[in-house]
Structure 1
């Protein structure tokens, strides 16, 4: 069974970091000092587990004015194409809504723009380079989940 879980413990956060290192550092060549950054301590992290194995991750942090910034969304290569990225984004969006965020922004790798557009994000910038990878800024208003409480429990999926 696949679950998306709020990373409430140091072990769960390390699971998220391990997935990120595999995808961004090993696969995409992002320097480790750019991938693991000063925002990791304050961000809310989510991990996708298949059984007890971490296979995906993402984080969100509030950057002011009820705006959340989604970052580091990734799924291990052998698990892509199973709609797991969508599950991570749904958990991040729900967390944003229940914690009072009104809008999410993100910097999408250019190849992933269609993925985010299907989720309702719109492009808000020309292409730019980040860690030598082309990106575009995107955003989406968040509505409908206010007052339900923070997301801390596993969300099982099929």
Structure 2
């Protein structure tokens, strides 16, 4: 997602509190996502697929798996900071746009959320 940046750029202070998922093609790591659960709410961050493997369904497979894990963990709401151009991708997975937007490192983001079945 940030190939022009050093690895330290994507490290977060609370990385050790997250669950990190990776999708491999043989020995090659091709997609990653990190899930941070806080009670019945969760955020996923650092969702990225190697450019050479994009548009082949790998990211969709990994996202679907991670969403299942979040639901099994008892999460009712999950959200992400979606790049503005990726909104249609997340909508396919049941995410909706919120009113929260921001810009970071020259990229525009929209907070998107999804609710799992609640009583």
Calculate the TM-score normalised by the size of structure 2: 0.89
> What does residue 133 of structure 1 align with?
107
Native 8 Å contact 1:104 1:139 kept in 2: yes
Kindly tell me the number of residue pairs found equivalent between the two proteins: 118
Provide the TM-score with structure 1 as the length reference.
0.69
The reply to whether residue 121 of structure 1 matches residue 56 of structure 2 is no
Correspondence for 2:22: 47
Gapped runs of 5+ residues in structure 1?
Answer: 1-22, 145-158
More strand by share: 2
Deviations 1:13-39 (A, max 9, x none): xxxxxxxxxx32x2xx45644411112
Superposition deviation, residue 131 in structure 1 = 2.9
Contact 1:124–1:136, Cα closer than 8 Å, also in 2: yes
Query: Which sits farther off after the overlay, 84-93 or 72-81?
Result: 84-93
* Structure 2: runs of 5+ lacking an equivalent: none
Give yes or no for the alignment of 1:72 onto 2:46: yes
Point out which structure has higher relative CO (alpha carbons under 8 A, 6+ apart): 1
Q: Given the superposition, is the C-alpha separation of residues 129 and 32 from structure 1 closer, same or farther in structure 2, using an over 3 Å criterion? A: farther
SS of 2:117's equivalent?
coil
Q: Say if 1:30 and 1:131, in contact at 8 Å, map to a contact too.
A: no
**Equivalent position of 2:117 in the other structure:** 143
The runs of 4+ residues in structure 1 deviating greater than 3 Å are: 29-34
